[in-house]
């Protein structure tokens, strides 16, 4: 697949980190694209397994520190079909590798994103452990599912078994995908229509967390806040210069894709 731009190697951020050395060694054996996909898969599996371990541990304890539910949470209707939007979160992890330009600078940028996601989930898991809050809204979804197709019932049954409702705030669905959406918007800085579609898709996915009754409005707000903080503190200062707004305008290493 062709990328929107080709970035030349950027060494302006100093010596390579240990992660960059490890990925470079892997690239030498399997190639740049395969190394990125393998690294992404490993990152995703680690994030998912750590999340599931903690949320099931918290659910097993059955301790609720507080209830951030407000009346508006129950006033928002349960929309079973919103689960399709909810599950699009996986696409952001894939897109960050799929649409990444070639070159050393892009690989460094991808490592920065992975590192920021680990920081985000570490903060989220700490909150789950120290200040657990239950999303007690699934009764609304059970009522909304009456008379709906078997596929929707199967999806929600599987989701409820996999993901107990103690993963309230901040929403990892929102915080992690916001970081990745901002990164994709940076990659597509010269592709305004892609950016428009990206943000429509992300906003729809973010809203789906309350329509599926998987999260509260408080979770949505705190997820956005955590994602924005992560982008500002743990991504922007560490991105190669080629990914800065000034770098995009000055370097202009763009490819004309159809």
* Predicted TM-score of the model (pTM): 0.85
| 106 inside domain | yes
Question: Who has greater pLDDT, 103 or 133?
Answer: 133
Is residue 253 pLDDT above 90, yes or no?
Answer: no
| 258 inside domain | no
| 142 inside domain | yes
Asked if residue 170 has a cis previous peptide bond (ω within 30° of 0), the answer is yes
Question: What's the domain count of the chain?
Answer: 1
Q: What is the pLDDT of residue 30?
A: 63
Domain limits for position 143 = 18-249
| 96 inside domain | yes
Across 212-222, average pLDDT: 97
| 51 inside domain | yes
Average pLDDT, the chain: 86
| 55 inside domain | yes
| 1 inside domain | no
Q: What is the pLDDT of residue 35?
A: 86
Is residue 61 pLDDT above 70, yes or no?
Answer: yes
Q: Are 255 and 3 in contact (CB under 8 A)?
A: yes
| 68 inside domain | yes
* pLDDT confidence band for 49 (50 / 70 / 90): very high
Determine the 3-state secondary structure of 68 from DSSP. Answer: coil
Across 205-231, average pLDDT: 98
* pLDDT confidence band for 28 (50 / 70 / 90): low
CA dihedral over 93, 96, 98, 103, signed as positive or negative: negative
Across 54-78, average pLDDT: 94
Across 130-143, average pLDDT: 95
Encode 63-88: b = buried (16+ Cβ within 10 Å), e = exposed. eeeeebbeeebeeeebbbebbebbee
């Amino acid at each position: 697949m062709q990328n929107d731009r080709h970035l030349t190697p950027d060494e302006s951020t100093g010596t390579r980190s240990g992660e960059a050395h490890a990925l470079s060694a892997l690239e030498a054996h399997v190639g740049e694209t395969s190394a990125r996909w393998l690294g992404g898969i490993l990152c995703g599996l680690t994030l998912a397994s750590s999340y599931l371990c903690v949320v099931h541990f918290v659910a097993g304890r059955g301790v609720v520190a507080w209830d951030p539910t407000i009346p508006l949470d129950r006033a928002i209707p349960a929309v079973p079909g919103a689960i399709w939007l909810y599950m699009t979160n996986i696409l952001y992890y894939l897109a960050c590798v799929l649409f990444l330009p070639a070159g050393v600078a892009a690989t460094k940028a991808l490592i920065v994103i992975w590192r920021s996601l680990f920081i985000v989930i570490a903060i989220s898991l700490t909150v789950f452990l120290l200040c657990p809050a239950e999303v007690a809204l699934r009764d609304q979804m059970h009522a909304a599912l009456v008379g709906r197709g078997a596929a929707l019932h199967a999806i929600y049954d599987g989701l409820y078994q996999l993901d107990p409702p103690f993963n309230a705030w901040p929403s990892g669905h929102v915080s992690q995908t916001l970081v990745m959406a901002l990164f994709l918007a940076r990659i597509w800085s010269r592709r305004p229509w892609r950016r428009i579609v990206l943000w429509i898709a992300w906003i729809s996915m973010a809203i789906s967390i309350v329509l599926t009754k998987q999260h509260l409005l408080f979770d949505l707000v705190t997820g956005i806040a955590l994602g924005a903080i992560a982008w500002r503190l743990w991504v922007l200062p560490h991105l190669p210069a080629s990914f800065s707004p000034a770098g995009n305008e000055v370097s202009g290493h763009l490819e004309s894709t159809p």
